[in-house]
Protein backbone atom coordinates (compact mmCIF):
# COMPACT_ATOMS: atom_id res chain seq x y z
CA UNK A 1 0.00 0.00 0.00
CA UNK A 2 1.02 3.56 -0.60
CA UNK A 3 -0.20 6.00 2.06
CA UNK A 4 0.30 9.72 1.52
CA UNK A 5 -0.17 12.43 4.18
CA UNK A 6 -0.81 15.94 2.83
CA UNK A 7 -2.35 19.17 4.08
CA UNK A 8 -5.45 20.73 2.55
CA UNK A 9 -3.25 23.56 1.27
CA UNK A 10 -0.92 21.09 -0.48
CA UNK A 11 -3.84 19.13 -1.97
CA UNK A 12 -5.74 22.23 -3.15
CA UNK A 13 -4.88 23.95 -6.40
CA UNK A 14 -5.91 25.00 -9.86
CA UNK A 15 -4.87 24.05 -13.38
CA UNK A 16 -2.67 21.14 -12.42
CA UNK A 17 -2.66 17.36 -12.43
CA UNK A 18 -2.11 15.30 -9.30
CA UNK A 19 0.16 12.51 -10.58
CA UNK A 20 0.75 9.33 -8.57
CA UNK A 21 4.11 7.67 -9.22
CA UNK A 22 3.48 4.24 -7.71
CA UNK A 23 4.02 0.70 -9.01
CA UNK A 24 1.33 -1.10 -10.98
CA UNK A 25 -1.04 -2.98 -8.70
CA UNK A 26 -0.66 -0.44 -5.90
CA UNK A 27 -3.41 0.57 -3.50
CA UNK A 28 -3.34 4.31 -2.70
CA UNK A 29 -4.65 6.05 0.41
CA UNK A 30 -4.31 9.83 0.66
CA UNK A 31 -5.00 11.39 4.07
CA UNK A 32 -5.74 15.09 3.65
CA UNK A 33 -5.59 17.15 6.85
CA UNK A 34 -7.23 20.56 7.09
CA UNK A 35 -10.65 22.14 7.01
CA UNK A 36 -11.16 23.24 3.38
CA UNK A 37 -10.07 21.80 0.02
CA UNK A 38 -10.48 23.65 -3.29
CA UNK A 39 -9.48 21.91 -6.53
CA UNK A 40 -10.19 23.33 -9.99
CA UNK A 41 -9.44 22.63 -13.64
CA UNK A 42 -7.35 19.51 -13.16
CA UNK A 43 -7.38 15.80 -12.53
CA UNK A 44 -5.84 12.93 -10.63
CA UNK A 45 -3.62 10.82 -12.89
CA UNK A 46 -3.20 7.15 -12.01
CA UNK A 47 -0.42 5.01 -13.48
CA UNK A 48 -1.05 1.96 -15.63
CA UNK A 49 -2.12 -0.93 -13.44
CA UNK A 50 -3.88 1.28 -10.85
CA UNK A 51 -7.57 2.03 -11.24
CA UNK A 52 -10.20 4.14 -9.49
CA UNK A 53 -11.15 1.23 -7.20
CA UNK A 54 -7.59 1.24 -5.82
CA UNK A 55 -7.71 4.83 -4.50
CA UNK A 56 -9.21 6.33 -1.34
CA UNK A 57 -8.85 10.02 -0.48
CA UNK A 58 -9.65 10.52 3.19
CA UNK A 59 -10.49 14.14 3.95
CA UNK A 60 -9.82 13.56 7.63
CA UNK A 61 -11.19 16.74 9.18
CA UNK A 62 -12.41 18.77 6.20
CA UNK A 63 -15.64 20.68 6.68
CA UNK A 64 -15.80 21.83 3.05
CA UNK A 65 -14.68 20.49 -0.33
CA UNK A 66 -15.01 22.42 -3.58
CA UNK A 67 -14.33 20.72 -6.92
CA UNK A 68 -14.70 22.69 -10.13
CA UNK A 69 -14.02 21.02 -13.49
CA UNK A 70 -11.94 18.44 -11.67
CA UNK A 71 -11.73 14.69 -12.29
CA UNK A 72 -11.33 13.02 -8.88
CA UNK A 73 -10.09 9.47 -9.58
CA UNK A 74 -11.00 7.27 -6.64
CA UNK A 75 -13.27 7.25 -3.64
CA UNK A 76 -13.88 10.13 -1.25
CA UNK A 77 -14.31 9.77 2.51
CA UNK A 78 -15.19 13.11 4.12
CA UNK A 79 -17.25 12.40 7.24
CA UNK A 80 -17.49 16.06 8.35
CA UNK A 81 -17.55 17.84 4.98
CA UNK A 82 -20.12 19.47 2.77
CA UNK A 83 -19.33 19.57 -0.93
CA UNK A 84 -19.83 22.02 -3.76
CA UNK A 85 -19.13 20.35 -7.09
CA UNK A 86 -19.28 22.05 -10.51
CA UNK A 87 -18.38 20.20 -13.70
CA UNK A 88 -16.04 17.21 -13.47
CA UNK A 89 -16.64 14.02 -11.51
CA UNK A 90 -15.87 11.79 -8.57
CA UNK A 91 -14.95 8.38 -9.98
CA UNK A 92 -15.46 6.12 -6.96
CA UNK A 93 -17.60 5.94 -3.86
CA UNK A 94 -18.40 9.32 -2.27
CA UNK A 95 -19.18 9.52 1.45
CA UNK A 96 -19.72 13.05 2.75
CA UNK A 97 -21.17 13.95 6.15
CA UNK A 98 -22.66 17.29 5.13
CA UNK A 99 -24.78 18.69 2.33
CA UNK A 100 -23.80 18.26 -1.30
CA UNK A 101 -24.52 20.69 -4.14
CA UNK A 102 -23.67 19.57 -7.66
CA UNK A 103 -24.19 21.67 -10.76
CA UNK A 104 -22.82 22.30 -14.22
CA UNK A 105 -22.94 18.62 -15.18
CA UNK A 106 -20.92 17.26 -12.25
CA UNK A 107 -21.13 13.46 -12.19
CA UNK A 108 -20.74 10.73 -9.59
CA UNK A 109 -19.43 7.41 -10.96
CA UNK A 110 -19.62 4.60 -8.42
CA UNK A 111 -16.63 2.43 -9.36
CA UNK A 112 -16.45 0.78 -5.94
CA UNK A 113 -13.51 0.57 -3.54
CA UNK A 114 -10.92 -2.17 -3.23
CA UNK A 115 -8.04 -0.56 -1.27
CA UNK A 116 -8.32 -3.14 1.50
CA UNK A 117 -7.92 -6.24 -0.63
CA UNK A 118 -4.66 -8.10 -0.22
CA UNK A 119 -3.44 -11.35 1.26
CA UNK A 120 -3.47 -9.66 4.67
CA UNK A 121 -6.99 -8.33 5.15
CA UNK A 122 -7.96 -5.51 7.45
CA UNK A 123 -11.42 -7.05 7.80
CA UNK A 124 -11.92 -10.84 7.79
CA UNK A 125 -14.17 -12.30 5.12
The average confidence (pLDDT) of the chain is 91
List CB contacts of 120: < 8 A, sequence separation 6 or more: none
When pLDDT is cut at 50, 70 and 90, the band that residue 119 belongs to is: very low
Q: Can you spell out the DSSP letters for the chain?
A: -EEEEEEHHHH-EES-EEE----TT--EEEEEESSEEEEEEEEEEPPTT--GGGEEEEETT-SEEEEEEEEEESEEEETT-EEEEEEEEEES-EEESS-EEEETT-EEE-----TT-SSS-SS--
- The answer on pLDDT for 3 being more than 80 is yes
pLDDT tens figures, 26-68: 999 999 999 999 999 999 999 999 999 999 999 999 999 999 9
- pLDDT tens, position by position, 91-101: 999 999 999 99
What is the C-alpha separation between 35 and 50, in angstroms, rounded?
28
Banded pLDDT at 72 (limits 50, 70, 90): very high
Tell me how many degrees the CA angle 91-71-118 measures, rounded to the nearest 5.
Answer: 40
Amino acid sequence: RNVFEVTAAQWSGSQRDWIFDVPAGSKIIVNVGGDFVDMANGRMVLPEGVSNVDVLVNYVDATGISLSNFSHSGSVLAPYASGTFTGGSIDGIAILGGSVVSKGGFEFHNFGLDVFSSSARLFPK
